[in-house]
Structure 1
Amino acid sequence: GAPGNNFILSLRDAPEDFYIVGTDIDRYHLEWPNVDKAYLVPICTEPDYIEVINQIIEKESIDFIHPQPDVEVRVFSEKREEINTAHFLPNKQTIRTLQNKLESARMWKSKGLHTRPTFVVNTPEDIKEAAEKLGLPLWMRATKGAGARGSTLVTNIDTGIHWLKYWRSRNSNWKFIVQTYLPGRDYAFQSIWQDGELITSQARERLEYIYPYLAPSGRTGTPVVAVTVHRDELNEVATKCIRAVDPKASGIFCVD
């Protein structure tokens, strides 16, 4: 996908000469990235996924593996002991917390980084209660998943109720939360950490998302236009968010 391809483009832009092997579950996507070798693999939730990955690791003498997107990160994290090469993943509990928007919000609230509560919504009554306590508008989204999964702006209670009913009518078992909607500029902070020390970071302002008109929220997770920015306040808040979850952070961390 696009995030993995961006990672490959960054490696190709580096002064070192890398031998890069890529994998994908879609045979049409194998032609997309600039890799030296590409393999079609099962979906990461399939029972033989790790076995197939290890076969590629052995065949290609892979020294380091970088999983992406989130669903693969989760599988690699939980089964990291079975992966026969090096990785640079945060610890298991850190990934579990950060891939759950409810748990991470609760963590940041306990550390004083969130000033407003997060509400779990399972019924129309839950949405009404959240609106009474937080006020409108609200931001509603699924607790897990990338790409603005299940998100929408709730400017009136009916929108939230019908949004919840829509996903329930499709037999979705997603859990939803609502939070205070924060308007304004949209930033992404990317960083690399080692044993709690920030090694390097970059902040970007997202100016436009890919196919925003296809999502009710206008958010699709991946921007098509972004600009590098430097703001001390942004850097400070983002690093505090990461340290609040893992004081000994190691790996790649992003904060939106």
Structure 2
Amino acid sequence: MADAQQAAHWDAIWADAGASLDRHGNAVLPSVLHAGQCEQLAALYARDDRFRSRIVMARHNFGRGEYKYFAYPLPPLLERLRHALYRRLAPIANRWNRQMGLEVQYPAELDAFLARCHAAGQTRPTPLMLRYGAGDYNCLHQDLYGDHVFPLQVAILLSAPGEDFTGGEFVMTETASRGQHADVVALGQGDAVVFAVNQRPDMVGRTRTRASVPRVAMRHGVSVVRSGTRHTLGLIFHDAREASASAGEAA
């Protein structure tokens, strides 16, 4: 695909993603990574030198399975992805905050936002890789880590469903004034899901008498893996404060 065609292709995908995020709080980006890249990244899980810490979920009542937080410097592919995705997501995050009547706005580039995090003591990298085996799952949660929170994050499925594992669906719940709702998001190997970290504007509940729209509370998790092994890459855009693992650090 020529460069111009490829740019137009991704512009269309992002337009659809923005509409899906507004409606559901999540959106799928197809084939962000190819199979070879997925396999290369999943293989990093065995290399402790690339990570700053390992979390066993059962020890913290996060579910079952484990994950590792990458250390800085990030692998080059992750570094490029984190910056490129942030650049696309910052305008959506800013629009959401304006709609919800929140004053916080995010700079156009990730480095400027990370400087804001680091100045507030949030200096630990949050990109991570998760590994689930048969019987493992991830409880519904939010990834907050500190006072500075970027309201969108990304998970990329590195394993092939139906081949490497069964079960293990990505699940989101939302709580609004009109009730609760659950959404199961189907992903293929290399697909990314973009989703709300903790809240999004509720355009359905909007009224003309309000200066801002109501908010929908969001949580995400992973259903039980029935067989095999499932690896996922998580890209969170705010860094974490210096603290031990807590209920806000599952992903």
Class of the TM-score when normalised by the shorter of the 2 chains:
under 0.3
Higher helix share: 1
* Structure whose alpha-carbon radius of gyration is higher: 1
Higher strand share: 2
TM-score scaled by length of structure 2: 0.21
